[in-house]
Amino acid sequence: MLTTLKTSYTDTRAADLAWALGRDPLPALAVLDLELAGAKLQLRLLGASHQVLLREDDRSCSETVACMPGSSTPLPLGVSKRVGEWEYEFAARVETLTQGSFAGRAQELLALVADHPHGLAGTFPGSPHAFTAMLAQRHEGQVRWRTWHAYPQEGQLVVTRTRIGARMPAAL
């Protein structure tokens, strides 16, 4: 699903993004509710980036990646921790692209997410390449999602990847 977000472009620099687990739901500009093999997942586009709410049986988790005033937790390159009975893994990277490459990558990602049944993307007014996009899936008992946060004025794309679920057995 692709939507135009009715708000000003709040988080204008990739360096302003912060990460948090366990936050209450924040006001959302667009929401996609999914059920993935018993897991209820809510993808939420915020004026300041994204939030994912996951509920399965009596367990829940929320992940927020956004500009959060007063937050002291910057966007980490990686996190691995237990959340109740689940194993949670988060990774982030920043891609810096030329203006031409950025436009092409933005179009490619928006096309990928717009028509995907588990995808949500929102563009911000003022720039066709200012967007936040999210894509979720369930694989081998784990829920996974990827996000893309575009900062065309900097030529930067923040890419995150999250995996949560039962511990995966070690490969032999």
Position 34 pLDDT exceeds 90: yes
How confident is the model at residue 71, as a pLDDT? 66
CA atoms of 74 and 108, how far apart (whole Å): 28
Q: What is the DSSP annotation of 13-48?
A: -GGG-EEEESPPPPP-SEEEEEEETTEEEEEEEETT
Instruction: Express each pLDDT in 123-140 by its tens digit.
Output: 888 777 889 999 999 988
The pTM score is 0.89
Instruction: Express each pLDDT in 69-84 by its tens digit.
Output: 766 667 889 999 998 8
Residue in 136, 121, 139, 161 with CA at minimum distance from that of residue 54 = 136
